[in-house]
Amino acid sequence: MSKYFLLVIFIAASINVLGCSKESKYEPEQNQTSYNSVQEENKAPDFTLVSTDGKKINLSDYKGKVVILDFWATWCGPCRRGIPDLVSIQKSYKDKVVVIGISLDDERTKNDILPFMKEYGVNYPVVYGTSEVVMNYGNIRAIPTSFIIDQKGNIVDKYIGLVSKEIFLNRIKGLIGS
Q: Which of these is catalytic: 11, 49, 67, 76?
A: 76
Active site residue 20: no
56 three-state secondary structure: strand
Q: Tell me the C-alpha distance between 89 and 122, whole Å.
A: 11
Backbone angles phi, psi at 53, to 5 degrees: -100, 15
**Pairing mode, strands 145-149 and 126-128:** unpaired
Q: Tell me the C-alpha distance between 17 and 10, whole Å.
A: 11
The count of other CB atoms within 10 Å of the CB of residue 157 is: 19
* Cis? peptide before 144, omega within 30° of 0: yes
Half-sphere exposure of 120 (CA within 13 A, CB side): 22
Q: Which of these is catalytic: 44, 57, 73, 79?
A: 79
146 three-state secondary structure: strand
Known catalytic residues are: 76, 79
